[in-house]
Chain A
Amino acid sequence: MNRVAIHAVDLGKRYAVEPQKLRMDLRESLAQAFWPRLRASASPQGTLSTRPWPRPGRWVLRHVHFDVEAGDILGILGDNGCGKTTLLRILARISQPTEGHAEIRGRVRALLDGGAGFHAELTGRENVFLLASLLGMTRSQNERKFEAIVAFAELEPSIDTPLKYYSSGMCVRLAFAIAAHLDTEILLIDEVLAAADGNYQKKSLEKMIALHAEGQTVLFVSHDLDYVRELCQHAIVLSEGQVAFSGPTPEAMDYYRSISRQHPGQELSNWRSQGSAIPCVGPSSGR
């Protein structure tokens, strides 16, 4: 019997309020801190700021149960806003679940974005060290694997160029190459490959199959059903924050097609060619 790598029990995530309302201004907050009664009596209905904690919020994930066996590649399907990224963030410890819990056996590394962690002013070489360290690679591992990472990303000629001159496809190639060499037990990959070209996507797919053969557990989010079909034995379909389907990939895909809000006629695999709007490098931490 296979070991279970991830055992998620009743995971739920609630964001306190809609993001734009979340940042109430200082005045309102101070007023609430110093004169709670005054404020409450001034607005008997109870405005947002006078309601007791916890505030009403929006559940982006609720009652999520699933298991991932060690060494499995699990596909996660779902429309935009269904909670896929939130789920990966929880598993990567970037945010905490509001309820429920997940048991994780093994080290988790996550690539949730093609550019997060990179610094635009630094060269490709420096950024390999930077992102690899952020993702948990030690310096000696990094030195050992540097050549392989650069070779895999096919960026030898431009590795000493500042990252700001890279195309978003090049950034993604570098980021994925680092993630694929992390030597971890559980790897979470969010939709990051969309900006890379077809050849690189194919190569990444083969790399993930190789990682799988070495026993890595991979959670893979993609809108590209072709990849999910090729890569994953099992898949879960998230819909409105819940696991709507969990099982073998072909059935999961059929189910996803049936609920997806895409027009039935639209070929989902066309999404690949549209690329994505992920910025290559985040707002550089300007100093």
Chain B
Amino acid sequence: MIGVLTRRRAFGLADFWEHRHLVYVFVWRDLRARYKQTLLGAMWAVLQPLLTMAVFTFVFRRLARIPSENVSYPVFVLCGLLPWQFFAQAVARSGNSLVSERYLLTRVFVPRVIVPVSAVLSGLPDLGVALGASFGIMLFYGVVPRLAVLMALPFLLLMIGLALAVGLFLSPLNARFRDVSYLVPFLIQLWFFITPVAYPTSLVPEKWRSFYFVNPIAPIVEGFRSALTGSGPIPPSRIIASAVSVSGSLLAGFLYFHWSEERFADVV
């Protein structure tokens, strides 16, 4: 086994594949460490969407009288919050990942792309726990999950892909310009308002709607919710459009990450 180390020897797909078990190691570490020294532990994964649901129901339903299509508003908003909170946390975590792991990255050899990838995936168990609890809430409101729930899976994949794509752009940028770590929470907050989490898409005027779905997470959140609540079919064209744009941005993200890795390898 002869390895030659040169300037051009950047990390490629082969390195990622060879070290893929590290994704598991990072996710495992994050899960182990996440709720250490907390009273409620993994309950937080359930409490966050539930408490947000309660507040939103009060604000948007009681005060603002926002309609919720054909399910009751708490279920409606909960099924939008689950994918949204996963997405928002995945973007925030992966965007910061290279910077928060800089101590490790400058002392242990890890193909860098492993770091944002595992940052996105480490949110999945939280989502799983929250989903389990949500089924209870849905039953309480008389929404019985049917087999159509499985339709949420492709949307979950799209969500993972999109969060990773954003993370692949943000994390090297953040390594270079710390401005990004101030920008991201702000960006996510704004992004929330152009995403149909607390309100249905039907509220968006018809003439703006094609613009509205330029936001790649909008159809994903909506599709995920429709699958969970079984409310209305999802136009396949929208799934395909979403899949195309997600794969495109994912590819661009990987290329950008690779490019910046070669160029700014020593800047973390």
A203 lies within 8 A of chain B by Cβ? no
Check if A116 sits within 8 Å of B25, measured CB to CB: no
Chain B residue at smallest Cβ distance from A13: B266
In the complex formed, the residue of A with least CB distance to B8 is A96
Rounded to whole angstroms, the CA-CA distance of A89 and B268 in the bound complex is 15
Question: Once the chains are docked, how many angstroms separate the CA of A98 from the CA of B3?
Answer: 17
Task: Give, as a whole number of angstroms, the nearest-CB distance from A53 to chain B.
Answer: 8
Q: B267 contacts which chain A residues (CB < 8 A)? A: 16, 22-23
Of the candidates A100, A110, A287, which one forms a contact with B109 in the assembled complex, judged by CB atoms under 8 Å apart?
A110
Chain B residues with CB below 8 A from A92, complex form: 109
Q: Do residues B265 and A117 form an inter-chain contact, with CB atoms below 8 A?
A: no
Q: Within 8 Å of chain A (Cβ to Cβ): is B9?
A: yes
**B32 & A285 in contact (Cβ 8 Å cutoff):** no
**How close is B126's CB to chain A, nearest CB, in angstroms?**
11
B-binding segment of A129-137, A205-213, A243-251: A129-137
Establish whether residues A15 and B266, one from each chain, have CB atoms under 8 Å apart when the complex forms.
Answer: yes
Shortest C-beta distance, B20 to chain A (Å), equals: 12
| A-contacting 9-mer, from B98-106, B139-147, B195-203, B230-238 | B98-106
The CA-CA distance from A116 to B103 in the complex, in Å, is: 7
Residues of B within 8 A of A93 (CB): 5, 9, 109
Are B2 and A287 touching (Cβ within 8 A)? no
Flag A29-69 by CB within 8 Å of B: 1 or 0 each. 10000000000000000000000000000000000000000
Query: In the bound complex, how far is the Cα of B10 from the Cα of A59, in angstroms?
Result: 20
Of A76-84, A118-126, A151-159, A223-231, the segment with at least 4 beta carbons within 8 Å of chain B is A118-126
Please give the number of chain B residues whose Cβ is less than 8 angstroms from any Cβ of chain A in the complex: 38
- Which of A95, A122, A286 interacts with B29 by CB under 8 Å? A122
Question: Does the CB pair B103–A283 fall under 8 Å?
Answer: yes
Say whether B176 contacts A23, CB under 8 Å. Answer: yes
Asked if B21 contacts A133 (CB within 8 A), the reply is: yes
A15 to B268, CA, bound (A): 13
B133 to chain A minimum Cβ distance, whole angstroms, is 21
Q: Please choose the segment from B33-41, B68-76, B152-160, B250-258 that sits at the chain A interface, where 4 or more of its residues have CB less than 8 A away.
A: B33-41
In this complex, what residue of A is CB-closest to B115? Answer: A285
Q: How large is the interface on A (under 10, 10 to 19, 20 to 34, 35 or more residues)?
A: 35 or more
Choice from B4, B93, B109, B176 contacting A102 with Cβ under 8 Å: B4
Q: Is B190 interfacial (CB-CB < 8 Å)?
A: no
List chain A residues, Cβ under 8 A from B65.
none
Q: Are A23 and B109 in contact (CB under 8 A)?
A: no
Residue-wise, chain A 97-129 has the 8 Å CB interface mask toward B (1 for contact) of 111111111111010110011010110001000
| A96-B5, A133-B21 known; A119+B29 contact, CB < 8 A | yes
Instruction: Tell me, yes or no, whether B209 is within 8 Å of chain A by CB.
Output: no
Q: In whole angstroms, how far apart are the Cα atoms of A113 and B107 in the complex?
A: 7
Docked-complex contact A95 and B107, CB < 8 angstroms: no
Q: Which residues of A contact B66 (CB under 8 A)?
A: none
Interchain nearest-CB distance for A203 vs B (Å): 23
CB distance from B21 to the nearest CB of A (A): 7
Rounded to whole angstroms, the CA-CA distance of A162 and B21 in the bound complex is: 24
- Shortest Cβ distance from B3 into A: residue: A104
Within the complex, the shortest CB–CB distance from B34 to chain A, in Å, comes to 6
Instruction: Report the Cα distance A119→B100, complex, angstroms.
Output: 12
Say yes or no for A94: interface residue by CB 8 A criterion: yes
A94 to B2, CA, bound (A): 17
Q: Are B104 and A116 in contact (CB under 8 A)?
A: yes
Residues of A within 8 A of B4 (CB): 101-104
In the assembled complex, the CB of B6 is this many whole angstroms from the nearest CB of chain A, namely 4
Measured between alpha carbons, how far is A103 from B6 in the docked complex, in Å?
A: 9
Given A116-B103, A122-B32 in contact, is the A97-B108 Cβ separation under 8 Å? no
Which chain B residues have a beta carbon within 8 Å of chain A's beta carbons? 1-10, 21-22, 25, 29-30, 32-34, 36-37, 93, 100-101, 103-110, 176-179, 265-267
11 A-B residue contacts at CB 8 Å? A23-B177, A23-B267, A29-B177, A93-B5, A96-B6, A104-B4, A107-B1, A112-B108, A116-B103, A162-B36, A285-B33
6 tightest Cβ-Cβ pairs between the two chains A and B: A282-B103, A116-B107, A101-B6, A121-B36, A121-B33, A133-B25
